[in-house]
Chains A and B, each alone.
Chain A
Amino acid sequence: MSNFLNSSIGKKFLMSLTGFFLITFLLVHLLVNSLILFDQSGHLFNQAAHFMGTNPIIKVVEPVLAIGFILHIIYAVILTRQNQRARPIGYKQQKLSGSSSWASRNMFVLGILVFVFLAIHISNFFWKMKFTGHELLEEGAMGNMENAYLLVTTFFQQWYIVILYIIGAIALGFHLTHAFWSAFQTLGLSNSKWRKRLDTIGLIYTLVVAGGFAIIPIWVFIASLI
């Protein structure tokens, strides 16, 4: 096994597997968050958040997700360092725009952006809900179900936060445009026919996820103005 994980394909296998995990997580996360858009009372969202916070299965998955995420980052660093070393002397002139997408060539940078955004995002919500608590969470809390809705919607009333989240969603989107098909390809789950299909599915997924995550703060912000 250690041989396998030391091989280039083994390491990528891990990237792909953890990536799939994150892709799945993003979709679930978006589904829960989208409840903000559909129920102005916030009840639906709060219930979902409560469920996610207390359900034993989710509790098990949560640390696994965290480990997967950390592995994704560690292996990204290892692979990227190896890749840089593989070309000790660079070209004077290199044109790659015709042969590969910008995102595919900048996955590491995009990954860092997503990571930075994520750190901010966690400190904004998850950290408060899970550990430190917040006065808005208490306001109108029903039993032990916190008012996460209030925390989120209040937070998104600040324009610079909204812009930050839009940038985060864009970075995530670019990362995903390459990540989705790439994850299949690395597992060998692609061929000439499926490549086109997966590309399309990946694009739809990216638009839904990145678009969805961008729309929520915008929606809340606009709603607060009215």
Chain B
Amino acid sequence: MNLNAKIPSGPLAEKWSTYKSTQNLVNPANKRKFDIIVVGTGLAGASAAASLGELGFKVKNFCYQDSPRRAHSIAAQGGINAAKNYQNDGDSVYRLFYDTIKGGDYRAREANVYRLAEVSNKIIDQCVGQGVPFARDYAGTLHNRSFGGALVSRTFYARGQTGQQLLLGAYGALNRQIAAGNVKMYHRTEMLELVIVDGIARGIITRNLETGALEPHFGHAVVLATGGYGNTYFLSTMAMGSNGSAAWKAYKKGALFANPAFVQIHPTCIPVHGEFQSKLTLMSESLRNDGRIWVPKELDDAKNIREGKLKPTDLPEDKRDYYLERRYPAFGNLVPRDVASRAAKERCDARYGVGTGQAVYLDFKEAIGRLGKKVIEERYGNLFQMYEKIVDENPYETPMMIYPAIHYTMGGLWVDYELQTTIPGLFAIGEANFSDHGANRLGASALMQGLADGYFVLPFTIQNYLATQLGVARMDPANHPEFSKAIEEVQGRINKLMSIKGKRSVDSLHKDLGHVMWNHVGMGRTKEGLEEGIRMIREVREAFWKEVRIPGKADGFNVELEKACRLADFLDLGELMAKDALHREESCGGHFREEYQTEEGEALRDDVNFKYVAAWEYQGDQKEAKLYKEPLDYEFIEIKTRNYKE
């Protein structure tokens, strides 16, 4: 296979406009002749479905939740980046592009990222137009704050609920198209298979979660906007239902999966409290604007704090180690997420951790002193309240405890410049693709990418493909051999799972997988650890297919069956993640191989041997996936070692 990213020629700043003015479009009368399937209703899915509906395409939109508004984009707290330069602090499209490439540790595709930065401004306009109540200054203009990895304030936000407000904006646009009859919405419906006809993606098989009915759906094109696969780790900040199955089905049908090992571990989450914990809660990165991160300087103090003999508030300033400010004077507490996470792990591994030992402090005492409690309350009130509800401690009085947790997956389905996968007619947008964040995503960039893909990229690029499909008539999926075959396959898998009748619940097996992933494919990875991890994942997989128990029937609501279907895919995905991590013998972004670090413990990138996108091709269940490399040529920027110290 020849990986062709289809990047338009010409200067970086003109690629997108060149593409748009030369691509094929579908004329308005023909648009209604095309069916487009969009799976997922998060920022990418909802914005794409709505925008395609507005253009006149017939869209079928699917979500496993009870309403499109529940997609997990809703949980994004901090904000969305855009190069508006409203603050007059020197921001520009180029700077946003540059920060994103650098933040991604030079493992993202230049042309895609530039386009992302380019359309970022229109996203803000669009959202304001939809009635998203962004924070404003007293003069009535839009307000910004700063996020990790940037020297400017370019983050737009709506209190601590930016993701929610942006999603509700897109959901509103989607609702408008549903009412207009351009989008048909299928809720509580999960995609379980991709249907390929003559090498082209032509539809999907879904399961109606309420009735258990398997249903075939035809589309001239299929768009996956199904989010990330962070729940491979069981504990993550993802929603309980977030899963990698749609992308994994595509992978098994021939779509390449890129950089699966690139996982983001978010530094500011509430630490794990016990074995029944079901998920981790994120505390927005925006907290690092004012909060200072520290652990005790002395091992004895750390031990006393852990044992409850010493209160953090009693520890004098000179006994505290503000390790991010110490190590990275220029960016301080606002270093990128991967750097902050690793630094916390390093301190905790050295036994300076507090709480259970797997936690560090995020302290607002200085900020409250400087700005007053009222200002802090205005900025972070809802986050503080959330923390207090969970931990039962008042963060205005005692420092918060935080620890890194799995938060986002930069890897995903390989897509070209048009966001098309290696299967013709199959597109992947938002977190489901791999394209824009390289080895590490900067804060407030996920919302930007999701909406960029859905509002401003896919609605154009998909037409370049559809223009070649003009003569293709709608298929009748109920009477088509490929669709029938796909339904049989899905039915077979479900029957197999139901018939195991073992002794263990899906969750208990998922937790086993999660432990392996966190310990072996987590923040610090080694060759031995990864090899051991792969072996252990296989053991869990074997146990799963022998011992899982799914009570109830398949032809009705069956939550355990849903979870089992997802876990079966996580088990395979986990192995590919470990394998990708094993093959990449360098440290970059969220991927940290302990063998490859500088003397100061910083990531040691190997641009000579690993400056490429690793795209994996499925070869069969018993065979090793095949690696393809898409070289990353940086024409327009100079590659440097990331330096957040000065």
A/B contact in complex, CB under 8 angstroms: no
